[in-house]
Protein backbone atom coordinates (compact mmCIF):
# COMPACT_ATOMS: atom_id res chain seq x y z
CA UNK A 1 0.00 0.00 0.00
CA UNK A 2 1.24 3.43 -0.94
CA UNK A 3 1.56 6.43 1.32
CA UNK A 4 0.37 8.93 -1.28
CA UNK A 5 -1.57 11.79 0.24
CA UNK A 6 -3.95 13.48 -2.15
CA UNK A 7 -4.64 17.19 -2.03
CA UNK A 8 -7.26 19.34 -3.63
CA UNK A 9 -11.00 19.57 -3.81
CA UNK A 10 -11.53 15.91 -4.78
CA UNK A 11 -9.03 14.31 -2.40
CA UNK A 12 -11.60 12.33 -0.41
CA UNK A 13 -13.26 11.02 -3.56
CA UNK A 14 -9.92 9.96 -5.03
CA UNK A 15 -8.78 8.24 -1.84
CA UNK A 16 -12.11 6.44 -1.52
CA UNK A 17 -11.82 5.25 -5.12
CA UNK A 18 -8.29 3.91 -4.60
CA UNK A 19 -9.31 2.22 -1.34
CA UNK A 20 -12.30 0.57 -3.04
CA UNK A 21 -10.22 -0.73 -5.95
CA UNK A 22 -7.68 -2.21 -3.56
CA UNK A 23 -10.39 -3.71 -1.37
CA UNK A 24 -11.72 -5.69 -4.32
CA UNK A 25 -8.25 -6.97 -5.20
CA UNK A 26 -6.62 -4.56 -7.63
CA UNK A 27 -3.04 -3.39 -6.99
CA UNK A 28 -3.90 0.05 -8.38
CA UNK A 29 -0.35 1.41 -8.25
CA UNK A 30 0.10 3.02 -11.68
CA UNK A 31 -3.35 4.57 -11.57
CA UNK A 32 -2.62 6.02 -8.16
CA UNK A 33 0.16 8.16 -9.60
CA UNK A 34 -2.11 9.45 -12.35
CA UNK A 35 -4.77 10.32 -9.80
CA UNK A 36 -2.16 12.21 -7.77
CA UNK A 37 -1.40 14.30 -10.87
CA UNK A 38 -5.11 14.98 -11.34
CA UNK A 39 -5.48 15.96 -7.68
CA UNK A 40 -2.57 18.39 -7.97
CA UNK A 41 -4.03 19.80 -11.22
CA UNK A 42 -7.41 20.48 -9.62
CA UNK A 43 -5.78 21.95 -6.53
CA UNK A 44 -3.82 24.41 -8.66
CA UNK A 45 -6.51 25.34 -11.19
CA UNK A 46 -9.84 24.64 -9.45
CA UNK A 47 -9.22 24.75 -5.69
CA UNK A 48 -12.83 25.62 -4.85
CA UNK A 49 -14.52 23.11 -7.15
CA UNK A 50 -17.31 21.09 -5.59
CA UNK A 51 -18.26 19.09 -8.69
CA UNK A 52 -16.29 17.56 -11.51
CA UNK A 53 -17.52 19.66 -14.39
CA UNK A 54 -17.22 19.22 -18.13
CA UNK A 55 -14.88 22.23 -18.19
CA UNK A 56 -12.50 20.68 -15.67
CA UNK A 57 -12.43 17.40 -17.57
CA UNK A 58 -11.82 19.12 -20.91
CA UNK A 59 -9.05 21.22 -19.38
CA UNK A 60 -7.42 18.06 -17.94
CA UNK A 61 -7.69 16.27 -21.31
CA UNK A 62 -6.45 19.17 -23.43
CA UNK A 63 -3.08 18.97 -25.11
CA UNK A 64 -0.38 20.38 -22.87
CA UNK A 65 2.83 22.00 -24.06
CA UNK A 66 5.99 20.61 -22.53
Concatenated DSSP letters of 1-66:
-------STTHHHHHHHHHHHHHTT----HHHHHHHHHHHHHHHH-TT--S--HHHHHHHHS----
CA 55 → CA 8, 23, 27, 40, 48, distances in Å?
Answer: 17, 31, 30, 16, 14
Q: Where does the pLDDT of residue 3 fall: very low under 50, low under 70, confident under 90, or very high at 90 and above?
A: confident
pLDDT tens-digit map of 6-57:
999 999 999 999 999 999 999 998 999 999 999 999 999 999 999 999 999 9
Amino acid sequence: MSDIIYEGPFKEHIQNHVDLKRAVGYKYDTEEGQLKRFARFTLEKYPNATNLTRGIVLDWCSKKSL
